Amino acid sequence: MFALVIAGEAIFLLPFILMRVFKPVIREAFVISDAQIGEAQALYGITAVISYFFGGFIADKLEARKLVSISLILTAIGGFWMTMIPSIFTLKILYAFWGVSTILLFWAALIKATRQWGNEHNQGLSFGLLDGGRGFFAATIALSGAAILSFFFPKSSVDITFENKVETLQYIIGTITGIVFLVALLVWFVLPKEKIEKSDSKEFQFNFKQALGLIKQPKVIYHSLIILCAYCSYKLTGTYGTYARDVWGYSLEESTYFAVFIQYIRPIAAITVGWIADKFMPSKLIVPCFTILIIASAVLGLGLFYDQPIFLSFTFFVFMALGTYALRGLYFAIIEETKIPLQLTGTLVGIISVVGFTPDIFMSLFVGYMLGENPTIVEYQNLYSLFTIIPIIGLLATIGFRKAIK
């Protein structure tokens, strides 16, 4: 399980965590806007959505050890490419490549292996440990990167040059790339070999008719919507650091450390809510999580505490993070509630992920164009106000899911 946790986040350090935590520095070192970053990440989303669908079939046919290791190596190769600080055009190609390398052979295999590790009564804890452990690993890597910023940047922000930003970012990207390579080796030697049984029965062999049957089930549709809305919230966490920079006036270092702090909420929320979910039922806890998101995003969108001390709006960002990361620990744990056979887990994950992770296509674009070139408090308020619609949809989908499984 430790190897799965480490691999589960290492694969996304380069395409996601790097941008989520170090976005203020990346914007200035690459000389790009939020909108251009959104375009690059949208290409990732397009190739990833296609990969989710076909990756589900592959996970049901091949052993996880090989799939996960190959994915990590390919992703790390892209990291070396990024250390050269390529043009925005090349960066877009790189993100499209990562959409395949991080998903096609990886995602469904990871979720299936986690479901196998947790028994029928411990799905909340197993997926909470997966996402919480991933969050702790990501936050620790991000904290190390923030320490590199502090080490290389001059004490006075006035003395920070463009060359300082580029060189420091190259060290951070290079370090993370090396870690991804090491994790690939860890997975290869630690994850046990898996014997894939080839049954003569056609009961669990994939075919498009069988997949179509899953797609038509209301519980699968609602499950997809729950993931979609929760993942939109997760994508929004990438704006927390830039908000601190653009609205609170934090320095590059301070805004990075704020983003790292938010990352450390993830293991606390995911593991705690996963443990609690097994005492009740995972889908029951999704309702209060979406409710928290609705309230917190509405408050930030209305700017109720803009003229008040920073700690008040800071508190609502913490609530947003708690609701978001709790959802991440829950939205795959409810697979067991659907009563869909284990042998079809890969196929099911592929289907619900096609819908659930489409925010990889549109969310970064949405954020980028809402914020524009030089965002102020007004642009952020507009962003959070519109976002409030998404957790409302998620709450309704959760209610529909609970009715469907009954």
The pLDDT tens digits of the residues spanning 231-264 come to 999 999 989 988 998 988 888 888 888 988 998 9
Cα-based distances in Å from 77 to 4, 16, 74, 102, 318: 20, 16, 5, 12, 35
Q: Is the pLDDT of residue 380 over 80?
A: yes
Q: What is the rounded average pLDDT for all residues in the chain?
A: 85
Hey, where are the domains in the chain? 2-192+208-405
Query: Which helix (H) or strand (E) is 278 found in, with range?
Result: none
> Quick one: tokens of 361?
């296509």
Q: How far apart are CA 53 and CA 48, in angstroms?
A: 9
Q: Is the pLDDT of residue 204 over 60?
A: no
Cα-based distances in Å from 208 to 154, 171, 212, 222: 59, 46, 6, 20
Answer for the pair 353, 56: CB distance below 8 angstroms, yes or no: yes
The matching CATH number, chosen from 2.170.8.10, 3.30.420.10, 1.20.1250.20, 3.40.30.10, for 2-192+208-405 is 1.20.1250.20
**Residue whose entry in the numeric block shows the structure tokens 């029928």:** 120
> Which pLDDT score, from 0 to 100, does residue 201 have?
41
**Sign of the CA dihedral with 146 first, then 149, 150, and 151 last:** positive
> Which pLDDT score, from 0 to 100, does residue 156 have?
55
**Sign of the CA dihedral with 278 first, then 284, 287, and 290 last:** positive
**Sign of the CA dihedral with 149 first, then 153, 156, and 162 last:** negative
Mean pLDDT in residue range 177-192: 89
Q: What is the pTM of this model?
A: 0.78
> Which pLDDT score, from 0 to 100, does residue 154 have?
59
80 vs 193 pLDDT, higher one: 80
> Which pLDDT score, from 0 to 100, does residue 203 have?
43
Answer for the pair 269, 129: CB distance below 8 angstroms, yes or no: no
pLDDT 10s digits, 322-374: 999 999 889 888 888 888 776 777 778 888 888 998 998 889 889 988 998 78
Q: What is the percentage of the chain residues whose pLDDT exceeds 70?
A: 90
Q: At what angle do helices 218-236 and 359-371 cross, to 10 degrees?
A: 40
Q: Is the pLDDT of residue 389 over 80?
A: yes
Cα-based distances in Å from 370 to 161, 360, 377, 379, 388: 29, 16, 12, 6, 14
DSSP state letter for 46: H
**Sign of the CA dihedral with 106 first, then 109, 112, and 114 last:** negative
pLDDT 10s digits, 160-184: 677 777 888 888 899 999 999 999 9
| C-beta neighbour count of 162 within 10 angstroms | 10
Output phi, psi for 146, to 5 deg. -65, -35
DSSP state letter for 159: G
